[in-house]
Amino acid sequence: MSAGIIAMMLGISTLLGALGLAALLWGLRTGQFDDTSKFLDGARFDGEEELKDAVMMEEKRKKALEKRRKDKRVMPD
């Protein structure tokens, strides 16, 4: 077997493994594994409704922040 192929195989497999590891670490850092049951319940229960909810919350947050910015601009001091 040529050294080039071995190098390529090792390189790619390590890289793939490292990607998986990076994803796992990202999940850990952002607290996605803190609540194991919720993680699973998401798969069991979440549907269109929940998605809509999430969008609604996102919009609510934007609106609240927007409002705050505006209030600040209105006030000259």
Partner 1 sequence: MSKISCDHCNLEFDEKVMIEDEIDGEKKYFCCKGCQGVYHLLKEEGLDSFYDKLGSTKLQPAVKKEDDLKKFDLEGFIKKYVKVRDDGLYEINLIIEGIHCAACVWLNEKVLHQTPGVIEATINYTNNKAKIVWDPEEIKLSKIIETIRSIGYNAYPYDPKLQEERAVKQRREYYARILVAVFATMNIMWIAIAQYVGLFTGMRRDIKDILNFAEFVLATPTLFYSGWVYYRSAYYGLKHRFVNMDLLVATGATLAYIYSVYAMITRTGEVYFDSVTMIVTFILVGKYLEVLSKKQAVDTLDSILGTIPTEVTVVKENEKALVMVENVEPGDIIEIKPGEKVVIDGVIINGSASFDESSLTGESEPVFKKEGDEVLSGSICIDGVVRYRAKKDFSASLLSNIVSLLEDSITKKPKIERLVNQISGYFSVTILSIAFLTFIGWYFYAGEFEKALIVAISVVVIACPCALGLATPMATLVGIGIAAKRGLLFKEAAFLETMAKSDMLVLDKTGTITEGKPSVITYEKLKDFDESIVLELVKNSNHPISKGVERFIVEKMVRGEGDKGVRWQGDKGVRWQGVKEGRSEDEYFRTHTHTHTSILKVEKFKEIKAKGMIAKIGGKRVLGGNIELLKEFGIDVEIESENSIFLVAIENELVAVFELSDKIKEGAAEAISKIKELGIRVVMLTGDNEKVAKKVADTLGIEEFYAKLLPQDKSAYIDKFHKDGHIIVMAGDGINDSIALARSDIAIAMGSGADVAISVSDIVLLDEKPKSIYEAYKISRRTFKAVKENLALSLIYNTFAVPVAVMGFVNPLVAAISMSLSSLLVVGNSFRIKLSDK
Binding site for partner 1 (CB under 8 A): 3, 6-7, 10-11, 14, 17-18, 21, 24-25, 28-29, 34-38, 41, 44-45, 53, 56-57, 60-61, 64-65, 67-68
User: Would you say 11 or 73 has its CB closer to partner 1?
Assistant: 11
Contact 27/33 with Cβ under 8 angstroms?
Answer: yes
Q: How far is the CB of 76 from partner 1 (least distance, A)?
A: 18
Contact 13/6 with Cβ under 8 angstroms?
Answer: no
